[in-house]
């Protein structure tokens, strides 16, 4: 445990100083990670993807997680997005201890608290834009009329009000990503978690999407962008750099 | 959620909260909650625990969408189920129709008639056949003695039958049953009625004249379907001899596809004259009521055993006394065997069909791994995925069952038309067909659906 490095974000006073394992989370943070380890069993060998990572993210922040491939940033993203649970450590999301939840509870958290935006959009190919956006509401048990309304509002928010009945193959890359963003936002999640959101887009469309993120941040959304592109990361207000499963740098840039 | 409910929720959650952070003040928890309430729409948490009709409906939509997209695959998947269900449905429907026909046919002669003959109508072994052949012929004298001495007999008569070629001018009909009867009460016992013309009187009957009463098929086959009253007085050739038609019978219809109207009644004396006096006759005895049948049978059996010189200890009567029940028993045995075979065929094809469905569902799960990942990422629980794929499997098999039911009824309809029995469509067997195939869907869909539900969302999202 001696080699555990915890970067201290030089930001708000409410974020506590790096604390040892077992110390309480910061309840005023939206995300509070404490000594997060993720270990995979590869044959007889144990591979540590994360070596005790701790950080806090307050509500309303626009954060970029940056790092080369194999740095553990995908693992970290999966943990933040509640697609996976840590091998060790505590993860508090919106005052709920996610680290010890079972599959169904995680599904519920993903449904209510997390909005995913993926590099490859991950839309249902046979469903219309509207239906894609409704999907989280379907699994949230929202009745159809309210669902339509909410999905339409979300699509309107990303300027796709005129593309609701189009299927993904009838939309451009940028439009598809905006559908995905509408899907991520429709359930009013605590965090918008984007994994290389511009990785499959040309530079012009990339800028449009990043402008949209900026606008959404301005509207009070908490945004976490995972990327390996420095100019995408530069749009965020805080950058966490991951290397070899550790936080290398955690700086506020804006 | 009202502020009071929110506070209550904090209190409810306190055991969870106390884990690992004992120094926590409730005020901070409240603060955290307050800001989570800002982000979350007010009704969000409550509705999560409701039964998710929305997710079930999504399952149906996905199932139908996937079946529509893969039409050929769906059709091939359905095949086993369709074959199994349609086999059962058609056989059940056909046998029901036959049951009704058989019941009506045999009740037309009624349960008041029994016969005495040399051999039973159904012989099941060669040994029996040899034994029966060695028996004494049943003769007209036997019939007369029975009728004279039996007190509870109402009507009695004899008949002998053989197939013959019947001609009229250049028209010819093979395999017409020539039925020699005496006396004319046999018409009543056979439950046939005259449509045109008349039967013969006893004098004509005993004087061996070449006269006949014909079934409806004779006018159809030899007189181009002429009206019954037009063929009375015409002549037909039976075994090369001219016979005068004096009457035509009302049609009886078909049973098992065989016409019961393709026959010519002639007086027994004429029958003997034309076809020879030898050969056994069948004695028909009719009682006044069904209640008297058993008593009458006993009387007749005693009379006949006495005439055959049988002692009490001899198990063999030396003749066969039968009611129509013999037919019904045989029919029952035959149909129960048909039922068994059909159920076997259906079971096998349903099992095979189930395996096909399971295989296709596994393929479908593999193909849609990415989709499963997406659904899980946006909050589908394991049971949501499980039910989605179960619904898909059940939809396939229930559809197969429904098509099978329709095909089965269609098949039965064609056969019913061809063989001339009523089509009895039963809603219960339709429901059973669809029900059983739905169960097949559950059984064969469970494992693929479970595999889909257990997929790791990260792996699933990564797949292409």
Q: Using a CB-CB distance cutoff of 8 angstroms, which residues of chain A are in contact with residue B373? A: 122
Q: How far is A3 from chain B (nearest CA, A)?
A: 24
Query: Is A1 domain-assigned?
Result: no
B39 touches chain A (CB under 8 A): yes
| Structure confidence at residue B4 as a pLDDT band (50, 70, 90) | low
Residues B83, B407 contacting (CB under 8 angstroms): no
Distance of CA B357 to the CA centre of its chain: 28
Q: Do A122 and B50 touch (CB under 8 A)?
A: no
Instruction: Find the chain A residues whose C-beta atoms sit closer than 8 A to any C-beta of B.
Output: 22, 24-25, 27-28, 59, 78, 81, 83-84, 90, 94-95, 97, 103-104, 107-108, 110-112, 116, 118, 122-124, 126, 135-144, 147, 183, 187-190
Give the separation between CA A88 and CA A35, rounded to whole angstroms: 7
pLDDT tens track for B127-149:
888 888 888 888 888 888 888 88
Query: Is A212 domain-assigned?
Result: yes
User: What is the interface size between A and B, counted as CB pairs within 8 Å?
Assistant: 122
Query: Is A78 domain-assigned?
Result: yes
Query: Is A51 domain-assigned?
Result: no
Question: Which residues, 6+ apart, have CB-to-CB distance to A195 below 8 Å?
Answer: A74, A77, A116, A117, A118, A119, A226
Is the pLDDT at A10 greater than 70? The verdict is no
Query: Is A69 domain-assigned?
Result: yes
How many domains does the structure of chain A reveal?
1
In chain B, what percentage of residues exceed pLDDT 90?
Answer: 20
Q: Do B54 and A24 touch (CB under 8 A)?
A: no
Q: How many residues does chain A have?
A: 254
Burial pattern B401-413, b for ≥16 Cβ within 10 A else e, equals bbbbbbbbbebbb
Query: Is A38 domain-assigned?
Result: no
Is the bond preceding B183 in cis, omega lying within 30 degrees of 0? yes
Q: Measuring CA to CA, which residue among B30, B52, B370, B35 is closest to residue A113?
A: B35
Q: Using a CB-CB distance cutoff of 8 angstroms, which residues of chain B are in contact with residue A90? A: 20
Give the separation between CA A240 and CA A230, rounded to whole angstroms: 12
pLDDT tens track for A70-106:
898 989 999 999 999 999 999 999 888 998 898 989 9
Domain coverage including residue A207 = 59-83+113-252
User: Which residue of A94, A124, A183 is in closest CB contact with B36?
Assistant: A94
User: Which residue of A25, A83, A112 is in closest CB contact with B458?
Assistant: A83
Lowest-pLDDT choice from A135-139, B297-301, B391-395: B297-301
B252: left (phi over 0), alpha (psi -120 to 50) or beta: alpha
pLDDT tens track for B23-68:
444 443 333 333 333 334 444 444 444 446 788 888 888 888 888 8
Residue for token pair 């001339």: B420
Indicate which CATH number applies to the domain containing A130.
Answer: 3.40.50.300
Give the separation between CA B452 and CA A204, rounded to whole angstroms: 38
Which chain B residue's Cα is nearest to A89? Answer: B20
Q: What angle do CA B216, B222, B225 make, to 5 degrees?
A: 55
pLDDT tens track for A96-149:
899 889 898 999 999 999 999 999 999 999 899 999 999 999 998 888 899 999
B462 touches chain A (CB under 8 A): no
Write down the pLDDT at residue B46: 41
Global confidence as pTM: 0.68
Which chain A residue's Cα is nearest to B13? Answer: A96
Q: Using a CB-CB distance cutoff of 8 angstroms, which residues of chain A are in contact with residue B20? A: 22, 24, 90, 97
Query: Is A4 domain-assigned?
Result: no
Top mean pLDDT of A38-47, B201-210, B344-353, B440-449 is at B440-449
Residues B405, B430 contacting (CB under 8 angstroms): yes
Write down the pLDDT at residue B92: 85
Which chain A residue's Cα is nearest to B68? Answer: A126
Q: What is the mean pLDDT of the segment spanning B289-296?
A: 80
Question: Which residues, 6+ apart, have CB-to-CB distance to B204 below 8 Å?
Answer: B211, B267
| Structure confidence at residue A32 as a pLDDT band (50, 70, 90) | very high
B30 touches chain A (CB under 8 A): no
3-state secondary structure of A102: coil
Compute the mean pLDDT over every residue in chain B, rounded to the nearest whole number.
Answer: 80
Which chain A residue's Cα is nearest to B52? Answer: A141
Query: Is A12 domain-assigned?
Result: no
In chain B, what percentage of residues exceed pLDDT 70?
Answer: 86
pLDDT tens track for B74-121:
898 888 899 889 988 888 888 888 888 777 766 655 678 888 888 877
pLDDT tens track for B395-438:
999 999 999 999 999 998 998 888 777 788 888 888 988 999 99
Q: What is the mean pLDDT of the segment spanning B367-386?
A: 93
Q: Kindly give the pairing relationship between strand A45-57 and strand B113-117.
A: unpaired
């Amino acid at each position: 445990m001696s080699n555990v490095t915890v970067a201290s974000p030089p930001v708000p006073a409410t974020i506590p100083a790096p604390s040892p394992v077992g110390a309480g989370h910061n309840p005023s943070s939206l995300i509070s990670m404490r000594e997060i380890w993720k270990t995979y069993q590869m044959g007889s060998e144990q591979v540590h993807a994360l070596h005790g990572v701790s950080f806090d993210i307050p509500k309303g922040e626009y954060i970029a997680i940056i790092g080369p491939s194999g740095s553990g940033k995908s693992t970290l993203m999966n943990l933040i997005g509640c697609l996976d649970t840590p091998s060790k450590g505590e993860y508090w999301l919106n005052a709920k201890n996610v680290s010890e939840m079972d599959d169904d509870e995680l599904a519920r958290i993903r449904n209510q608290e997390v909005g995913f935006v993926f590099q490859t959009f991950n839309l249902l190919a046979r469903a219309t834009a509207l239906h894609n956006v409704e999907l989280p509401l379907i699994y949230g048990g929202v009745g159809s009329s309210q669902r339509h309304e909410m999905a339409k509002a979300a699509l309107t928010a990303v300027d796709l009000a005129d593309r609701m009945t189009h299927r993904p193959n009838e939309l451009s890359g940028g439009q598809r990503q905006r559908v995905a963003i509408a899907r991520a936002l429709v359930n009013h999640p605590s965090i918008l978690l984007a994994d290389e959101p511009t990785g499959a887009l040309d530079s012009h469309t990339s800028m449009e999407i990043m402008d949209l993120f900026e606008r959404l941040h301005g509207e009070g959304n908490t945004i976490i962008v995972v990327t390996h592109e420095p100019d995408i990361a530069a749009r965020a207000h805080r950058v966490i750099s991951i290397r070899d499963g550790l936080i290398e740098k955690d700086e506020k840039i804006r | 959620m009202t502020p009071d409910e929110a506070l209550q929720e904090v209190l409810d959650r306190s055991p969870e909260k106390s884990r690992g952070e004992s120094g926590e003040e409730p005020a901070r928890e409240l603060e955290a909650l307050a800001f989570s309430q800002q982000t979350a729409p007010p009704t969000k948490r409550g509705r999560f625990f409701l039964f998710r009709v929305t997710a079930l409906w999504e399952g149906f939509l996905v199932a139908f969408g996937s079946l529509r997209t893969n039409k050929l695959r769906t059709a091939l998947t359905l095949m086993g189920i369709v074959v199994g269900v349609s086999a059962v449905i058609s056989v059940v429907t056909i046998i029901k129709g036959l049951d009704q026909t058989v019941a009506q046919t045999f009740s037309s002669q009624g349960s008041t008639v029994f016969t005495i003959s040399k051999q039973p109508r159904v012989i099941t072994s060669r040994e029996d056949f040899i034994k029966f052949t060695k028996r004494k012929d049943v003769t007209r004298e036997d019939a007369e003695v029975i009728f004279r001495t039996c007190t509870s007999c109402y009507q009695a008569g004899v008949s002998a039958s053989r197939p013959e070629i019947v001609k009229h001018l250049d028209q010819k009909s093979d395999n017409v049953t020539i039925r020699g009867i005496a006396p004319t009460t046999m018409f009543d016992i056979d439950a046939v009625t005259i449509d045109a013309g008349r039967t013969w009187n006893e004098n004509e009957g005993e004087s061996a004249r070449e006269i006949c009463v014909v079934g409806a098929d004779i006018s159809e086959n030899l007189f181009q379907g002429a009206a019954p009253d037009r063929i009375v007085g015409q002549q037909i050739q039976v075994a090369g001899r001219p016979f005068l038609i004096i009457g035509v019978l009302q049609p009886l219809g078909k049973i098992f596809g065989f016409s019961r109207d393709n026959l010519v009644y002639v007086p027994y004396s004429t029958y003997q004259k034309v076809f020879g006096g030898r050969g056994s006759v069948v004695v028909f005895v009719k009682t006044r009521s069904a209640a008297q049948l058993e008593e009458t049978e006993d009387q007749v059996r005693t009379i006949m055993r006495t005439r055959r010189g049988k002692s009490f200890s001899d198990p063999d009567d030396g003749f066969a006394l039968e009611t129509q029940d013999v037919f019904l028993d045989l029919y029952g045995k035959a149909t129960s065997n048909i039922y068994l075979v059909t159920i076997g065929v259906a079971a096998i094809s349903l099992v095979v069909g189930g395996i096909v469905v399971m295989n296709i569902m596994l393929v479908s799960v593999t193909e849609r791994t990415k989709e499963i990942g997406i659904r899980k990422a946006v909050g589908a629980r394991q049971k949501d995925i499980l039910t989605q794929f179960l619904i898909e499997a059940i939809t396939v098999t229930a559809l197969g069952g429904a098509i099978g039911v329709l095909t089965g009824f269609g098949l039965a309809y064609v056969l019913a038309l061809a063989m001339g029995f009523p089509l009895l469509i039963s809603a219960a067997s339709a429901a059973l067909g669809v029900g059983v195939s739905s169960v097949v869907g559950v059984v064969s869909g469970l494992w693929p659906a479970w595999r889909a539900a257990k997929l790791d969302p990260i792996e699933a999202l990564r797949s292409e």
